[in-house]
Amino acid sequence: MSLTLADGLIIAAILAAIPALMLLVRLLGRRFGWNPEVSRKLVHVGTGSPALTFPLLFSNPLPVLLLLGMAIPLMFAIRSGLLGGLGNVLHGVERQSYGEVYLALAIAITFLRAEEQPVLYVLPILVITLSDTAAALIGTAYGRQRFPVEGGAKSIEGVVVFFVITRLASLIVLVLMSNAAPLNLVLISMLIAAFCALVEVDSRRGLDNLFVPIGAFLLLARYLDSSPAELAVSAAVFLGFLVAVLAVARALRLPQQAARLCRPALSDPLNCFPAQCRASGARHCHSSRGTRSSPMPQRARRFRSALRGGNGVPVLDVRGRCQRSLGDRAL
């Protein structure tokens, strides 16, 4: 691996363009009153799009690693306020996110592992750049059917947009950059779109910027040269697993986000927020001020019964984080 003068100039130009882009987006956002999510996603597209050209700009991984190694400290400097108020462009939304750092890590990992197959790099980065942005903007502007996720809420409309954009992007990139058979193109694009949409829905604090590209890369690397029969079986298994998980959740009447029970009450189960108490199935719960909330609905009590054995000890210790000594005592 080597570094040329041209590589150094490209690296310097990209590093200078990052704060310039944020300043431009900040000024335009103030001028036109953009939603913070719009500004953040414009920066996301502005940083992700140049990364798509790295296979053309750089002949080996060293310049990419050097660039990202300098870009990540720059992002932290912007986040900490060392460059004025530019960090508000990225962090003006309510939820805390480290998406820009995770995106840099995803670019580095996929570029290193793609080796002589550019499609393994271009498609994952294109998905997280375009699909994530389109889903966030459409979901923010037109989302009506919302569901809770950790740190906020997402919309059915946004998930559908993510799936559709990913499916189309996968088909186009695979047609242009691979020699896969037509049936393989259809099946691989469906697998990538479904898997990435599920990962994006449940990722928090910007981790979708890391998990979505890496997930897409792993699927491509595994199935790009597979036979149509193997792809069809894999798609059927994936769909069957998804249906089974939904069926089990429905049978147990699991509340949404059941896997995140008792998170605010890890240190003291008597001081938790009512929403988490209701999720855990307690008949009553205490807020952080010690006041008692209303009795729990029958559905939550049934869920508690599903989680507890006859002695009142939880059978399902979700993530191993809920207190095992609660018994029938109210939280």
Residue spans per domain, the chain: 5-249, 260-320
User: What is the pLDDT, as a whole number, of residue 242?
Assistant: 79
CB contact at 8 A, 152 and 130? no
User: What is the pLDDT, as a whole number, of residue 92?
Assistant: 53
Cβ-defined contacts of 206-210 (< 8 Å, 24+): 206/97, 206/98, 206/99, 206/100, 206/101, 206/102, 206/103, 207/102, 208/99, 208/102, 208/128, 208/132, 209/99, 209/100, 209/102, 209/103, 209/106, 209/128, 209/132, 210/102, 210/103, 210/105, 210/106
Comparing CA positions, the residue from 164, 103, 122, 115 lying closest to residue 139 is 164
Cβ-defined contacts of 166-175 (< 8 Å, 24+): 166/127, 166/131, 166/192, 166/193, 166/196, 166/197, 167/192, 167/193, 169/123, 169/126, 169/127, 169/130, 169/131, 170/123, 170/127, 173/119, 173/122, 173/123, 173/126, 174/119, 174/123
Report d(CA 88, CA 311) in Å as an integer: 52
User: What is the pLDDT, as a whole number, of residue 308?
Assistant: 44
Both tokens of residue 82? 């060392």
pLDDT digits (tens, 9 = 90+) for 234-287: 888 888 887 887 788 677 765 544 444 333 333 333 333 344 444 434 444 443
Strands of 77-213, DSSP E = 146-149, 152-155
User: What is the pLDDT, as a whole number, of residue 254?
Assistant: 56
User: What is the pLDDT, as a whole number, of residue 144?
Assistant: 84
User: What is the pLDDT, as a whole number, of residue 150?
Assistant: 66
Q: Between 156-177 and 119-126, two packed helices, what is the crossing angle to 10 degrees?
A: 160
Report d(CA 285, CA 290) in Å as an integer: 9
Mean pLDDT by 10 residues, the chain (331 residues): 88 91 85 80 87 91 92 83 64 63 92 90 94 87 78 83 94 92 89 90 82 93 88 86 78 54 37 40 41 46 46 40 37 36
pTM, two decimals, is 0.71
Both tokens of residue 9? 């100039």
pLDDT digits (tens, 9 = 90+) for 103-141: 999 999 999 999 788 999 999 999 999 998 898 888 888
Both tokens of residue 153? 């809420």
User: What is the pLDDT, as a whole number, of residue 217?
Assistant: 95
